[in-house]
Chains A and B, each alone.
Chain A
Amino acid sequence: MADTHAETVLFVRDTMLPQQEPPLSTVGPVGWARTNLFSGWLNTIITIVALLFVINLIAHLLPWFISGTWNATSLNDCREMMAAVGNEQGGACWGVIRERWPQLMFGFYPAELYWRPVLVLVLLFVALAPILFADRTPTRMLGFTAVFPFLGAWLLWGGTIWNPITALLGFVVGYVVFSLVSKVVNAGVSLFVAVVASVIWWTTLAGYVVLGLSAIAPLAIASVQSREFGGFLLSITIGVTAIMFSLPIGILLALGRRSHLPLVKALCVGFIEFIRGVPLITLLFVASTLLNIFLPPGTNFDIILRVMIMTTLFASAYMAEVVRGGLAALGKGQYEGADSLGLDYWQAQRLIIMPQALKISIPGIVSTFIGVFKDTTLVSIISMFDPLGLANAIRADASWNGIYWELFIFIGAIFFIFCFSMSRYSMYLERKLQTGHR
């Protein structure tokens, strides 16, 4: 057919034409706009109206943001500065952020010691690296991660170096007792004995050991009172502690809730339901006021420590339910598979169940983290100076009385940076752990 046809036409192309660029109106920004924004008369109208609205909004907000009042020293100063440049409609008074920047960051922490919280923040990221990016960091760094809570607490609160060391020794004591006792009785009982031994060490013996060691080698740095903590230093300290400890405690609680041992199960269910049934603010009030009355007068039970414990317990209860959701999503076959391999309970959890359950729970876990971090602002109600509490204190200064939006926008922006980073990291982790099947 082709041959006969060839004689009847004048020209037959025997090579393919080179591929053409698609028309400009269908690709690139123009094409994108045509398909998404102007694909019909209704969409076009909506686009134009929305665009006008956004432009109008920016035109009104931008002059407010860019008001050139960075150097003002009081609200009246701001107003004079704006009047001087003929700014009629008013603008933001950013001088308050400049003047109170150290206070918003560190609270009443002594200015000459600011390097300590900063160093702790840097070390925090170093300690987090082997956890967050396990595939790109050497495993040995996990050792530093384990020491970090003690090192960080020592740097923040100061005092003698023997405090964190003896606290750390408590774990060593527990481990030694465990390995000795477990030769005689079963693992559950020896774990219990080991915990009791550690607690005895922390509550009674450690105090004398610290005294003794400090007398021999007085290695100490200037100590800082809890009352001097404030601003984002306080928020981050409480938030990071709660986040750090709530995940392991939450996992244990979730496992306990699914346990077949009635006592363990009852304890875990009771704890989770009690904590979840009570608002965080109530727990904070208990920490700040009730404990004060029940503890003997003169007891120095640090207020930040009390708040940290309450926040951690609160977060753990929520975490337990998130992890339990992940456990429930696993098929029965996974458990049976683990059993058929001859793994014991903890091996099965560690090698088969938890990796899958935690992967499923990542969005929920990170949501809980973000929620806890934002909940730290509630401590302003029990008169601790978190950023929002400080905003109130700053307004109580005669030169800044009447300033609202600037402080709230600033604090909101910082919180947004933290929470958004956490959320992005969780998405990265989900993508990385994506195995194609659930």
Chain B
Amino acid sequence: MKKTVFLGALTVAGLAAGVAGAATLDDVKARGKLNCGVTTGLVGFAAPDANGEWTGFDVGVCRAVAAAVLGDPKAVEFVPTTGKTRFTALASGEVDLLARNTTWTFSRDVDLKFTFVGVNYYDGQGFMIPKALGVSSAKELDGATVCIQTGTTTELNLADYFRKNNMNYEPVPIETNAEAQQQFLAGACDVYTTDASGLAATRATFENPGDYVLLPEIISKEPLGPLVRHGDDEWADITMWTLNALISAEELGVTSANASDMGAEAGNNPEINRLLGTEGSLGAMFGLSDDWAKNAILAGGNYGELFEKNIGENTPIGLARGLNAQWTEGGLIYSPPFR
């Protein structure tokens, strides 16, 4: 998710403007399908099941947008992208929306000419160690051997962190997460570092997960979110407010189970009424039906439901909400009001 982007940067820069400006909403409606860029496979975020159906946390965002725009969460064409092809796929118009746990950074937003429409997962780089090492803080890792994916920002973050804390480490360069897993289990390195969500997912696959612990330090900011092309603000609004609708729905207690009932007639909470289209007509303001948000919520549930179903504590990945809790519960997930 943080592989070097020089190829994308070279090819995309400047050329993106050529296709931007087209009305993506009209294209999607005419096509009857949303082209959504996802990863070629990342545990919990996007993966095809045995029947070829895509599931995952990022996939949920795609389905919600498709439901909001087209009224059908199945009207999505999933376009798998790798770290190297994702930005070209979006810039060239091959996909309308990229929901591929991509870190929101300045250069991607400004230089590559994309618009990040929000954050659906706040990630950060963490450390995993075998319990037997007897270390309880990353500050005690002086002299450790560290498995690190080469060519990623995690490598730079690691160097920065150790320099800042005046410590030494010995890097064990690896290419993929699969390789890292094998190396770490074989004891080729004391520490494995990558995004905390990735560490948790990796740990969950171990034969004895209890023998390994994640250290409490998070050494970088990795806000992951969906993005669209620069220059089509209407489309950016639609995707942004679909994500916000899912977040607001959790805050307001609207779930996939009760959204139909609540949306049938106006209740006594005006914000819920505006969200579900029983009062006012927010959807019409950007060219969608009034029940757009209801459809988005029914597609896979509100933000909290998506989280619990795909990466939450009851799944094998077992991520706690942490930073990704609602703002009312001490997290950073916060939606502007529907008004």
Using a CB–CB distance below 8 Å, which chain A residues touch chain B?
A: 75-76, 79, 90, 99-100, 103, 107-108, 111, 227-228, 285, 288-290, 292-293, 297-298, 380-383, 385, 389, 392-399, 401-402, 404
Given A393-B41, A393-B48, A396-B47, verify A401-B84 contact (CB < 8 Å). Answer: no
Whether A382 and B82, one on each chain, are in contact in the complex, defined by CB atoms closer than 8 angstroms, is: yes
Q: Which of A99, A103, A292 contacts B94 (CB 8 A)?
A: A292
Looking at the assembled complex, report how far the CB atom of A158 sits from the nearest CB atom of chain B, in whole angstroms. Answer: 17
Using a CB–CB distance below 8 Å, which chain B residues touch chain A?
A: 7, 11-12, 15, 18-19, 22, 39-44, 46-52, 77, 79-82, 84-85, 88-89, 91-94, 178, 181-182, 201-202, 204-207, 315-317
Report how far A420 CA is from B190 CA in the complex, Å: 42
Whether B41 and A395, one on each chain, are in contact in the complex, defined by CB atoms closer than 8 angstroms, is: yes
Chain B residues with Cβ below 8 Å from A382 are 82, 84-85
Given A383-B80, A389-B40, verify A297-B47 contact (CB < 8 Å). Answer: no
Looking at the assembled complex, report how far the CB atom of A3 sits from the nearest CB atom of chain B, in whole angstroms. Answer: 88
From A99, A298, A396, name the one whose CB has the most chain B CB atoms within 10 angstroms. Answer: A396
Whether A397 and B49, one on each chain, are in contact in the complex, defined by CB atoms closer than 8 angstroms, is: yes
Looking at the assembled complex, report how far the CB atom of B58 sits from the nearest CB atom of chain A, in whole angstroms. Answer: 11
Whether A103 and B317, one on each chain, are in contact in the complex, defined by CB atoms closer than 8 angstroms, is: no
- 17 CB-based A-B contacts, threshold 8 Å: A285-B84, A292-B92, A292-B94, A297-B19, A383-B82, A392-B41, A395-B43, A396-B46, A397-B43, A397-B48, A398-B201, A401-B43, A401-B201, A401-B202, A401-B316, A402-B181, A404-B182
Given A392-B41, A398-B317, A401-B201, verify A297-B93 contact (CB < 8 Å). Answer: yes
Looking at the assembled complex, report how far the CB atom of B238 sits from the nearest CB atom of chain A, in whole angstroms. Answer: 19
Chain B residues with Cβ below 8 Å from A380 are 40
Report how far A177 CA is from B207 CA in the complex, Å: 69
CB nearest neighbor in B for A106:
B52
Given A75-B205, A90-B207, A289-B11, verify A398-B315 contact (CB < 8 Å). Answer: yes
Whether B80 and A385, one on each chain, are in contact in the complex, defined by CB atoms closer than 8 angstroms, is: yes
Chain B residues with Cβ below 8 Å from A396 are 39-43, 46-47
Given A285-B7, A393-B40, A397-B47, verify A293-B207 contact (CB < 8 Å). Answer: no
Looking at the assembled complex, report how far the CB atom of A222 sits from the nearest CB atom of chain B, in whole angstroms. Answer: 16
Q: Which of A79, A298, A383, A397 contacts B40 (CB 8 A)?
A: A383
Whether B88 and A292, one on each chain, are in contact in the complex, defined by CB atoms closer than 8 angstroms, is: yes
Looking at the assembled complex, report how far the CB atom of A401 sits from the nearest CB atom of chain B, in whole angstroms. Answer: 4
Given A293-B91, A297-B93, verify A385-B40 contact (CB < 8 Å). Answer: yes
Chain A residues with Cβ below 8 Å from B77 are 227
CB nearest neighbor in A for B41:
A396
CB nearest neighbor in B for A303:
B94
Whether A289 and B88, one on each chain, are in contact in the complex, defined by CB atoms closer than 8 angstroms, is: yes
Given A383-B85, A397-B49, verify A293-B41 contact (CB < 8 Å). Answer: no
Looking at the assembled complex, report how far the CB atom of A303 sits from the nearest CB atom of chain B, in whole angstroms. Answer: 9
Looking at the assembled complex, report how far the CB atom of B252 sits from the nearest CB atom of chain A, in whole angstroms. Answer: 29
Looking at the assembled complex, report how far the CB atom of A225 sits from the nearest CB atom of chain B, in whole angstroms. Answer: 8
Looking at the assembled complex, report how far the CB atom of A351 sits from the nearest CB atom of chain B, in whole angstroms. Answer: 49
Whether A103 and B50, one on each chain, are in contact in the complex, defined by CB atoms closer than 8 angstroms, is: yes
From B43, B52, B178, B201, name the one whose CB has the most chain A CB atoms within 10 angstroms. Answer: B52
Chain A residues with Cβ below 8 Å from B202 are 401-402
Chain B residues with Cβ below 8 Å from A394 are 41
Whether A293 and B15, one on each chain, are in contact in the complex, defined by CB atoms closer than 8 angstroms, is: yes
CB nearest neighbor in A for B15:
A293
Given A383-B40, A385-B40, A395-B41, verify A293-B11 contact (CB < 8 Å). Answer: yes
